[in-house]
Amino acid sequence: MLFGFEWDLSSPAAYAASILPILLIGMWVTIQATVIGFIVALVLGLVWAVLKAAPFRIISWPATVMTEFIRDTPLLVQLFFLYYVLPEYGIVLPAFMTGTLALGIQYSAYTSEVYRAGIEAVAKDQHEAARALNLTPARTFTHIVVPQAVPRIVPAMGNYLVSIMKDVPVLSVVTVLEMLNVAKIVGDRTFNYLVPLSMVGGLYLVMTLVASAGVRLLDGWLPKQGIPLK
């Protein structure tokens, strides 16, 4: 019994049906971790991108070093660091929050590059045209650069959304009860791993397909009249 659900081991089909509700609870945790981690990655990534683009090296340099450091160290190391080291300094966060934060921080290093590339891909001549028309730098950014950068950014961000989703099981090592962890516990209790782990694979496939379709839908809906997308 787990979360008050009993399992039925009379046949593989009955077993699968009986543990589906438990796995769905785990899946809901996975989805929450994905969404929160993605939001953290989007927001923090934008912060990095802006800092890295700063005209002063005293700002841009530390941001570059930090993102490089984050990108070049494993997610698991960062996760352990947040989970085991921070409490030594009195910062105790729930496992779920620590995990999503680690995910978001890791991926912010990648999303910052997507923002940077998207913004830099807006041709120099667009900036010159805006300057010749006397538009202010702020107005140029919000009305000339951003609308042309967004359609370039969305597909890449969609890929990271799926990647984050697939990295959520890493959080199981700090006791987060996401879907894989739940399946493993069920397996431990029943000595049958085949059915729960196969179901995790299947459910993951459904989630990633839905997420990808969502991104494609958003991408198709975005106006990109004549913006050279390369």
Partner 1 sequence: MNDPIIKFDKVIKRFGDLTVLDELDFEVGRGEKVSIIGPSGSGKSTVLRILMTLEGIEGGVVTVNGEPLWHEEGPDGLRPASEAHLHKMRTQLGMVFQQFNLFPHMTVLRNITEAPVKVLGLSKAEAKGRAEELLELVGLADQAQKYPHQLSGGQQQRVGIARALAMRPNVLLFDEPTSALDPELVGEVLNVIGRLAEEHDLTMLLVTHEMRFAREISDRVCFFDQGRIREEGTPEELFTDPKEDRTREFLKAVLD
Q: How many residues form the binding site for partner 1 (CB under 8 A)?
A: 21
Query: SS3 sequence, the chain?
Result: CECCECCCCCCHHHHHHHHHHHHHHHHHHHHHHHHHHHHHHHHHHHHHHHHHCCCCHHHHHHHHHHHHHHHCCCHHHHHHHHHHHHHHHCCCCCHHHHHHHHHHHHHHHHHHHHHHHHHHCCCHHHHHHHHHCCCCHHHHHHHHHHHHHHHHHHHHHHHHHHHHHHHHHHHHHHCCCCHHHHHHHHHHHHCCCHHHHHHHHHHHHHHHHHHHHHHHHHHHHCCCCCCCCC
- The span from the CA of 105 to the CA of 18, in Å, is 37
Instruction: Provide the minimum distance between the beta carbon of 144 and partner 1 in the complex, in angstroms, as a whole number.
Output: 6
224 touches partner 1 (CB under 8 A): yes
Q: Using the minimum distance from each CB to partner 1, give the nearer residue, 144 or 185.
A: 144
152 binds partner 1 (CB under 8 A): no
Give the residue with the Cβ less far from partner 1, 114 or 122: 122
| Candidate residues 6, 55, 223, 230; the one interacting with partner 1 per rule CB under 8 A | 223
Instruction: Check residue 138 for interaction with partner 1 (CB under 8 A).
Output: no
Determine, following the binding rule CB under 8 A, whether residue 125 of this chain makes contact with partner 1.
yes
Within 153-212, which residues bind partner 1 (CB under 8 A)?
Answer: none
- Smaller CB separation from partner 1, 155 or 187: 155
Using the rule CB under 8 A, is 55 a contact of partner 1? no
Q: Is 227 near partner 1 (CB under 8 A)? A: yes
36-44, 65-73, 136-144, 161-169 -> range binding partner 1 (CB under 8 A): 136-144
| Per CB under 8 A, 147 contacts partner 1 | yes
**Which of the ranges 31-39, 50-58, 62-70, 221-229 carries the binding residues for partner 1, by CB under 8 A?**
221-229
What residues contact residue 189 under an 8 Å CB cut-off, 6+ apart? 2, 7
Q: Judged by CB under 8 A, which of 17, 128, 189, 202 binds partner 1? A: 128
Length of the chain: 230
Positions that interact with partner 1 (CB under 8 A):
125-126, 128-129, 131-136, 139, 143-144, 147-148, 223-228
